[in-house]
Structure 1
Amino acid sequence: MARERLLMTLLPELRSYALSICRKGDEVDDLVQDAIERALQSGTRPRQLAALRPWMFRVIRNLHYDELRKTRVRREYSAREKRLSDVTAIQWGTESDIQMRMLFQRLPPETREILFLIDIMELKYREAAEILDVPQGTIMSRISRARRALRDLVEGVGTQDSTEDQV
């Protein structure tokens, strides 16, 4: 019962923090409720108020970013499915568009991922760094290498079979 009282003591602060990171006010109560639910189910939550406060803030933050990622993935999936099913987009596409898509699919998954986030979804480097959980400088070097790899495929540099190089 004492643990529940600690959570109730923190409730105004938790709501304030959730309100500061949420874009929509109606998400605040859901976020706080989910965080308290997690805390009540956790057997490892801190027992002192001084340690519980930052722990709960981290829970709220993690839940919020998890929801943002889910929303982004759903949005990207829906947009991709719409593009793929849009008959007019297929009719509009030229042979070079189809070739570019085929070359894109030949790239390694990590390379496709960074090109998709930056060049197709037009995310900022900071946003891509957050999604991939890497420093922004890493994003910059990865996108540079990915663009170079795609350009090499387009120009035919990467089309030679690796067995030819070994002969």
Structure 2
Amino acid sequence: MSRVLAAALERLLPDLRGFARSITTNSSDSEDVVQDAVERALRSHAAPEGDEALRRWMFRVIRNLAIDELRKLRVRREYSAAQVRLHHDGPPCTDVARDVLVRMVFDALPPATREVLFLVDVAGLRYAEAAEVMDVPEGTVMSRLSRARKAMRDRIEERPDGQVRKTTR
């Protein structure tokens, strides 16, 4: 085990945990995926050098592990998705309430939608880097991101009665 690799992985842990949480159904699954990914990286002789290259590589490993886990759960028929819906009646949201609303809406999105939003909007990857992590063309990232952002806006703007609030943005 390289001390340099271990130190780099330690620096990347917050990003890795955040990404894993964005594409898994709960924090326990995300911690398991991150642990498995770090373990594989430490055993690998092919881990890239440099924090940015390692970061993208680890995102890819985490993505693949998460997909594998999802497939296992589907095969076993143990997977059950829970939709969280926030009904908002009352005065405009405070900043804290808006942050909670955004997080709840984000968590209610499908994993593939959360993945692209996390990689570009939260982790700050460029389209090309996100495309590499997701193993899709750059244009696919851009179109998925556009649809994901629209889905977020639509869900945030929904009212309990099904009507959509008009916005000036």
When normalised by structure 2's length, the TM-score is 0.43
Greater fraction helix: 1
Greater relative contact order (CA < 8 Å, ≥ 6 in sequence): 2
